Amino acid sequence: MLLSGPPSRPLFIASFLLLFIFIGSHLRHNLTSPATLLQRTSPAPRSTTNPLDFSIPLQFEEGKPKPPEETYSWTVVVPKTAEEDLRWLEIEVPSEQLMVYEVDNPNAQNRVPKNKGKEAMVYLSYLIDHYDNLTDTIIFLHAHNEAWHNNELLEQKTVPMIKRLSHDRVARLGYMNLRCRHDPGCPDWLHLNRPGGDFDFVRKPEEIYWRRHIWEELHPGAPIPQSLSGVCCAQFALSRDRVRQVPIERLRHYRRWLLNTSASDYYSGRIFEYLWHYIFTGHEV
Protein backbone atom coordinates (compact mmCIF):
# COMPACT_ATOMS: atom_id res chain seq x y z
CA MET A 1 0.00 0.00 0.00
CA LEU A 2 1.29 3.45 -0.97
CA LEU A 3 1.33 6.03 1.74
CA SER A 4 0.72 9.73 0.95
CA GLY A 5 3.42 12.15 2.12
CA PRO A 6 5.82 14.92 1.04
CA PRO A 7 7.83 14.28 -2.17
CA SER A 8 11.40 13.18 -1.82
CA ARG A 9 14.10 15.95 -1.92
CA PRO A 10 15.81 14.64 -5.15
CA LEU A 11 12.48 14.64 -7.01
CA PHE A 12 11.75 18.25 -5.95
CA ILE A 13 15.17 19.45 -7.11
CA ALA A 14 14.84 17.70 -10.48
CA SER A 15 11.41 19.25 -11.10
CA PHE A 16 12.73 22.74 -10.28
CA LEU A 17 15.66 22.34 -12.69
CA LEU A 18 13.38 21.25 -15.54
CA LEU A 19 11.12 24.26 -14.97
CA PHE A 20 14.14 26.62 -14.93
CA ILE A 21 15.48 25.17 -18.21
CA PHE A 22 12.07 25.55 -19.91
CA ILE A 23 11.63 29.20 -18.86
CA GLY A 24 15.20 30.09 -19.84
CA SER A 25 14.81 28.54 -23.27
CA HIS A 26 11.55 30.45 -23.86
CA LEU A 27 13.04 33.81 -22.85
CA ARG A 28 16.16 33.27 -24.95
CA HIS A 29 14.01 32.60 -28.01
CA ASN A 30 12.00 35.79 -27.51
CA LEU A 31 15.04 38.00 -26.88
CA THR A 32 16.82 36.80 -30.01
CA SER A 33 13.82 36.64 -32.34
CA PRO A 34 13.89 39.06 -35.32
CA ALA A 35 10.84 40.95 -34.09
CA THR A 36 12.38 41.55 -30.67
CA LEU A 37 15.74 42.58 -32.09
CA LEU A 38 14.02 45.04 -34.44
CA GLN A 39 12.11 46.52 -31.52
CA ARG A 40 15.31 46.97 -29.51
CA THR A 41 17.54 48.42 -32.23
CA SER A 42 15.23 50.44 -34.49
CA PRO A 43 14.76 54.18 -33.86
CA ALA A 44 11.41 55.52 -32.79
CA PRO A 45 9.02 55.67 -35.76
CA ARG A 46 8.78 59.11 -37.39
CA SER A 47 5.44 60.78 -37.85
CA THR A 48 4.04 60.32 -41.34
CA THR A 49 1.94 63.48 -41.06
CA ASN A 50 2.54 65.90 -43.91
CA PRO A 51 4.03 69.05 -42.29
CA LEU A 52 2.29 71.14 -44.95
CA ASP A 53 -1.15 69.74 -44.16
CA PHE A 54 -2.59 72.87 -42.57
CA SER A 55 -5.92 71.16 -41.91
CA ILE A 56 -4.17 69.51 -38.94
CA PRO A 57 -3.46 72.22 -36.34
CA LEU A 58 -0.08 72.16 -34.64
CA GLN A 59 -0.03 71.17 -30.99
CA PHE A 60 1.95 73.69 -28.95
CA GLU A 61 3.21 72.89 -25.47
CA GLU A 62 3.94 75.45 -22.77
CA GLY A 63 7.64 75.65 -22.04
CA LYS A 64 9.47 75.28 -18.75
CA PRO A 65 11.68 78.14 -17.52
CA LYS A 66 15.22 77.43 -16.40
CA PRO A 67 16.14 77.20 -12.71
CA PRO A 68 17.10 80.59 -11.19
CA GLU A 69 20.80 79.73 -11.12
CA GLU A 70 20.93 79.11 -14.89
CA THR A 71 21.20 81.81 -17.56
CA TYR A 72 19.64 82.00 -21.00
CA SER A 73 21.49 82.28 -24.29
CA TRP A 74 19.91 84.84 -26.60
CA THR A 75 20.25 86.44 -30.01
CA VAL A 76 18.92 89.70 -31.44
CA VAL A 77 17.91 89.58 -35.12
CA VAL A 78 17.66 92.94 -36.90
CA PRO A 79 16.99 93.81 -40.56
CA LYS A 80 18.42 97.10 -41.79
CA THR A 81 19.17 99.09 -44.91
CA ALA A 82 22.56 100.55 -45.77
CA GLU A 83 21.52 104.00 -44.59
CA GLU A 84 20.33 102.87 -41.16
CA ASP A 85 22.82 103.29 -38.30
CA LEU A 86 22.92 100.54 -35.69
CA ARG A 87 25.67 101.91 -33.47
CA TRP A 88 23.11 102.48 -30.72
CA LEU A 89 22.51 98.72 -30.65
CA GLU A 90 26.08 97.56 -31.24
CA ILE A 91 27.29 99.26 -28.05
CA GLU A 92 24.61 97.47 -26.02
CA VAL A 93 24.56 93.98 -27.52
CA PRO A 94 27.71 91.83 -27.86
CA SER A 95 28.57 91.18 -31.49
CA GLU A 96 28.26 87.40 -31.09
CA GLN A 97 24.64 87.89 -29.98
CA LEU A 98 23.69 90.27 -32.78
CA MET A 99 22.54 89.08 -36.21
CA VAL A 100 22.20 92.00 -38.61
CA TYR A 101 20.79 91.58 -42.12
CA GLU A 102 21.61 94.47 -44.45
CA VAL A 103 18.90 93.69 -46.94
CA ASP A 104 19.99 96.04 -49.73
CA ASN A 105 23.64 94.96 -49.66
CA PRO A 106 24.28 91.92 -51.91
CA ASN A 107 27.71 91.47 -50.32
CA ALA A 108 26.49 91.52 -46.72
CA GLN A 109 27.58 88.72 -44.41
CA ASN A 110 24.00 87.73 -43.64
CA ARG A 111 21.84 87.66 -46.76
CA VAL A 112 18.28 86.98 -47.76
CA PRO A 113 17.07 85.45 -51.05
CA LYS A 114 15.37 88.72 -51.99
CA ASN A 115 14.77 92.10 -50.39
CA LYS A 116 11.01 91.70 -50.18
CA GLY A 117 8.41 91.52 -47.45
CA LYS A 118 10.07 93.99 -45.08
CA GLU A 119 11.28 92.31 -41.87
CA ALA A 120 9.35 89.09 -42.62
CA MET A 121 11.94 87.88 -45.14
CA VAL A 122 14.74 88.38 -42.61
CA TYR A 123 12.90 86.75 -39.73
CA LEU A 124 11.97 83.67 -41.75
CA SER A 125 15.43 83.37 -43.32
CA TYR A 126 17.11 83.51 -39.92
CA LEU A 127 14.86 80.80 -38.49
CA ILE A 128 15.33 78.57 -41.53
CA ASP A 129 19.11 78.99 -41.66
CA HIS A 130 19.61 78.50 -37.90
CA TYR A 131 16.79 76.07 -37.16
CA ASP A 132 19.15 73.46 -35.71
CA ASN A 133 21.41 75.79 -33.71
CA LEU A 134 19.17 78.39 -32.11
CA THR A 135 19.83 80.09 -28.79
CA ASP A 136 17.34 79.78 -25.92
CA THR A 137 15.69 83.08 -26.86
CA ILE A 138 15.52 84.85 -30.22
CA ILE A 139 14.55 88.54 -30.19
CA PHE A 140 13.30 90.11 -33.43
CA LEU A 141 13.60 93.89 -33.65
CA HIS A 142 13.51 96.79 -36.10
CA ALA A 143 16.55 98.94 -36.79
CA HIS A 144 15.40 102.04 -34.90
CA ASN A 145 16.09 102.73 -31.25
CA GLU A 146 13.00 104.89 -30.83
CA ALA A 147 9.57 104.36 -32.40
CA TRP A 148 5.93 105.18 -31.74
CA HIS A 149 5.10 101.48 -31.38
CA ASN A 150 7.66 100.89 -28.62
CA ASN A 151 6.48 101.01 -25.02
CA GLU A 152 5.66 104.41 -23.54
CA LEU A 153 6.85 103.39 -20.07
CA LEU A 154 10.29 102.77 -21.57
CA GLU A 155 10.31 106.13 -23.36
CA GLN A 156 9.56 104.32 -26.64
CA LYS A 157 13.16 103.09 -26.83
CA THR A 158 14.28 99.64 -27.92
CA VAL A 159 17.32 98.94 -25.73
CA PRO A 160 15.30 98.93 -22.46
CA MET A 161 13.00 96.31 -24.00
CA ILE A 162 16.00 94.05 -24.51
CA LYS A 163 17.36 94.62 -21.02
CA ARG A 164 14.02 94.15 -19.28
CA LEU A 165 12.88 91.14 -21.27
CA SER A 166 11.75 88.24 -19.10
CA HIS A 167 13.40 85.19 -20.64
CA ASP A 168 11.46 83.02 -18.20
CA ARG A 169 8.22 84.34 -19.65
CA VAL A 170 9.41 83.77 -23.21
CA ALA A 171 10.42 80.22 -22.30
CA ARG A 172 7.00 79.57 -20.79
CA LEU A 173 4.85 81.19 -23.48
CA GLY A 174 7.02 80.36 -26.49
CA TYR A 175 5.96 83.52 -28.33
CA MET A 176 5.85 86.99 -26.78
CA ASN A 177 5.11 90.28 -28.51
CA LEU A 178 7.35 93.06 -27.21
CA ARG A 179 4.64 95.71 -27.30
CA CYS A 180 2.63 96.05 -24.09
CA ARG A 181 -0.38 97.91 -25.51
CA HIS A 182 -2.90 95.84 -27.43
CA ASP A 183 -3.86 98.62 -29.80
CA PRO A 184 -3.50 98.57 -32.76
CA GLY A 185 -4.20 94.96 -33.62
CA CYS A 186 -6.47 93.72 -30.86
CA PRO A 187 -8.99 92.59 -29.90
CA ASP A 188 -10.84 92.52 -33.23
CA TRP A 189 -8.82 93.68 -36.21
CA LEU A 190 -8.71 91.98 -39.60
CA HIS A 191 -11.72 90.32 -41.21
CA LEU A 192 -10.91 88.30 -44.31
CA ASN A 193 -14.49 88.51 -45.60
CA ARG A 194 -15.19 92.16 -44.77
CA PRO A 195 -17.08 93.92 -47.62
CA GLY A 196 -14.93 96.41 -49.49
CA GLY A 197 -17.20 99.30 -48.56
CA ASP A 198 -16.43 98.73 -44.87
CA PHE A 199 -12.64 98.94 -45.12
CA ASP A 200 -10.83 101.33 -42.78
CA PHE A 201 -8.13 102.63 -45.12
CA VAL A 202 -6.63 104.86 -42.43
CA ARG A 203 -6.14 102.48 -39.49
CA LYS A 204 -6.15 99.15 -41.33
CA PRO A 205 -4.75 99.71 -44.83
CA GLU A 206 -3.45 96.12 -44.94
CA GLU A 207 -6.95 94.67 -44.65
CA ILE A 208 -7.64 95.25 -48.33
CA TYR A 209 -4.86 92.72 -49.04
CA TRP A 210 -5.76 90.32 -46.24
CA ARG A 211 -8.39 88.54 -48.31
CA ARG A 212 -9.64 84.96 -48.17
CA HIS A 213 -7.42 83.83 -51.06
CA ILE A 214 -4.30 85.05 -49.22
CA TRP A 215 -5.18 82.89 -46.23
CA GLU A 216 -5.81 79.90 -48.48
CA GLU A 217 -2.45 80.37 -50.20
CA LEU A 218 -0.65 80.56 -46.87
CA HIS A 219 -2.67 77.90 -45.03
CA PRO A 220 -4.31 75.56 -47.57
CA GLY A 221 -6.94 73.44 -45.88
CA ALA A 222 -7.06 75.44 -42.64
CA PRO A 223 -10.42 76.95 -41.60
CA ILE A 224 -10.91 80.62 -42.47
CA PRO A 225 -10.77 82.58 -39.19
CA GLN A 226 -13.60 84.96 -38.31
CA SER A 227 -10.97 87.56 -37.46
CA LEU A 228 -7.20 87.69 -37.34
CA SER A 229 -6.04 89.91 -34.53
CA GLY A 230 -2.66 90.33 -32.90
CA VAL A 231 -0.64 93.13 -31.36
CA CYS A 232 1.29 95.09 -33.97
CA CYS A 233 4.21 95.73 -34.95
CA ALA A 234 6.40 92.71 -35.77
CA GLN A 235 8.75 92.94 -32.78
CA PHE A 236 8.65 89.80 -30.66
CA ALA A 237 10.65 87.10 -28.90
CA LEU A 238 10.56 83.34 -29.43
CA SER A 239 11.88 80.41 -27.47
CA ARG A 240 13.96 77.81 -29.27
CA ASP A 241 11.52 75.08 -28.25
CA ARG A 242 8.57 76.95 -29.72
CA VAL A 243 10.35 77.53 -33.03
CA ARG A 244 11.04 73.81 -33.32
CA GLN A 245 7.40 72.97 -32.70
CA VAL A 246 6.78 74.54 -36.11
CA PRO A 247 8.14 72.26 -38.87
CA ILE A 248 10.87 73.91 -40.90
CA GLU A 249 8.91 72.97 -44.02
CA ARG A 250 6.23 75.45 -42.97
CA LEU A 251 8.75 78.23 -42.51
CA ARG A 252 10.08 77.52 -46.00
CA HIS A 253 6.53 77.53 -47.33
CA TYR A 254 5.91 80.98 -45.87
CA ARG A 255 9.15 82.29 -47.37
CA ARG A 256 8.28 80.86 -50.79
CA TRP A 257 4.99 82.68 -50.60
CA LEU A 258 6.81 85.94 -49.88
CA LEU A 259 9.13 85.39 -52.83
CA ASN A 260 6.31 84.57 -55.25
CA THR A 261 3.42 86.79 -54.19
CA SER A 262 2.35 89.67 -56.38
CA ALA A 263 1.67 91.76 -53.26
CA SER A 264 4.08 94.64 -52.85
CA ASP A 265 7.04 94.64 -50.49
CA TYR A 266 5.10 96.86 -48.09
CA TYR A 267 1.86 94.90 -47.99
CA SER A 268 3.41 91.43 -48.01
CA GLY A 269 5.32 92.49 -44.92
CA ARG A 270 2.17 93.90 -43.31
CA ILE A 271 0.39 90.61 -43.96
CA PHE A 272 2.96 88.80 -41.84
CA GLU A 273 2.79 91.46 -39.15
CA TYR A 274 -0.61 90.04 -38.21
CA LEU A 275 0.40 86.43 -38.77
CA TRP A 276 3.37 85.83 -36.45
CA HIS A 277 1.19 85.12 -33.42
CA TYR A 278 -0.82 82.57 -35.41
CA ILE A 279 2.29 80.82 -36.73
CA PHE A 280 3.80 80.38 -33.27
CA THR A 281 0.72 79.99 -31.05
CA GLY A 282 -2.01 78.64 -33.33
CA HIS A 283 -4.37 81.32 -31.99
CA GLU A 284 -6.27 83.53 -34.41
CA VAL A 285 -6.62 86.24 -31.74
Q: So what's the pLDDT on residue 186? A: 58
pLDDT tens for 91-124 read 999 999 999 999 999 999 999 999 999 999 999 9
Cα–Cα dist 149/137, whole Å:
22
- Length of the chain (residues): 285
128 within 8 A of 248, measured Cβ to Cβ: yes
Q: So what's the pLDDT on residue 1? A: 36
Reduce the DSSP state of residue 264 to 3 states and report it: coil
pTM of the model: 0.80
pLDDT tens for 141-157 read 999 998 766 766 778 89
